[in-house]
Structure 1
Amino acid sequence: MNDFLKKSFLIGLGATIASKEKAEKFLNDLSKSGGAAADEAKSLLESFNEKGKENTDKWRTELHQDVVDAIKDLGFVTQEEYANLKEKLTLLENELTGLKQTVSKRDSSED
C-alpha cells in the first residue's frame, strides 16, 4: 500500500510540474509574440501557481484522510486512540495496585 501511495503522489507531482512548465512556456511565448504584456503574463502565471498550490493542499488533505480511513478499515488504531488506551491501562494498573495493597493490609491486620 505504501508503494501505491508513493506512486500516486509522484504521478500527481509530475503532472503538476509538467502543467506548470507548459503554462510558463505558453506565457513566455505569448509575451514574446506581443500577445500579452510581460506583467500580464507574470500575473497570470502567479495566479496559476497559487491555484496549483491550493489544489495541491486540497489533494494532500484528501489523500491524508483517505489513508486514515484505509488504516481504520484495516483495523489499525490511530495514535490518539492508542494514547487513550495507554492512559486507561495506566489508570487501571494504578487502581489494581491500590486494591492489592488494600487487600494485603487487610489480610495482615486480620492475623
Structure 2
Amino acid sequence: MRELLRQGFYLGLGAAVSGKEKFESIVNDMAARGDMSPDEAKDMLNTWVSKGEQVNGEWNDRSQAKAKEQLKKLGFVTREEYERLEERIKMLENQ
C-alpha cells in the first residue's frame, strides 16, 4: 500500500511538472510571437504558479483531514488527545 501511494505521488508530481513546463513553453512562445508582452507573460506565469500553490495547499489540508479521520476510525488518538491523557495521568498519580 505504501509503495502504491508513493508511486501515485510521483505520478502526480511528474504530471504537474510536465504541465507547468508545457504552460511556460506556450506562454513564452506567445511572448516571442508578440501576442503578449514579456511582462504580461511573467505576470501570467506568476498568477498560475500562485493558484497552483493555493490549490496544492488546499489539497494537502483535505488530505491531512482525511488521514486523521481514517486514523481515528482505526482507533488511533491524536497527539493532542495523547498529551491530554498523559497530563491527566500525571495529575492522578500526584493525588
Normalised by the size of structure 1, how large is the TM-score? 0.75
Matched with 1:44 is 44
- For these two proteins, the number of residue pairs brought into alignment is 95
User: Distance in 2 between the 1:11 and 1:51 partners?
Assistant: 20
Q: Unaligned 5+ residue runs, structure 1?
A: 96-111
Query: RCO higher in 1 or 2 (8 Å CA, sep ≥ 6)?
Result: 1
Matched with 2:22 is 22
Structure 2 counterpart of 1:26, one-letter code: I
Structure 2 counterpart of 1:29, one-letter code: D
Q: What is the percent sequence identity of the aligned residues? A: 38
User: Distance in 1 between the 2:93 and 2:43 partners?
Assistant: 63
Residue 2 of structure 1 deviates from its aligned partner by 4.2
User: Distance in 1 between the 2:52 and 2:5 partners?
Assistant: 20
Normalised by the size of structure 2, how large is the TM-score? 0.86
Q: Deviations over 1:33-84 (max 9, x none)?
A: 2222111111111110110111111111111111111111111001111111
Q: Unaligned 5+ residue runs, structure 2?
A: none
Residue 11 of structure 1 deviates from its aligned partner by 3.2
RMSD: 1.6
* Greater Cα radius of gyration, structure 1 or 2: 1
Give the secondary-structure state (helix, strand or coil) at the position aligned to 1:77: coil
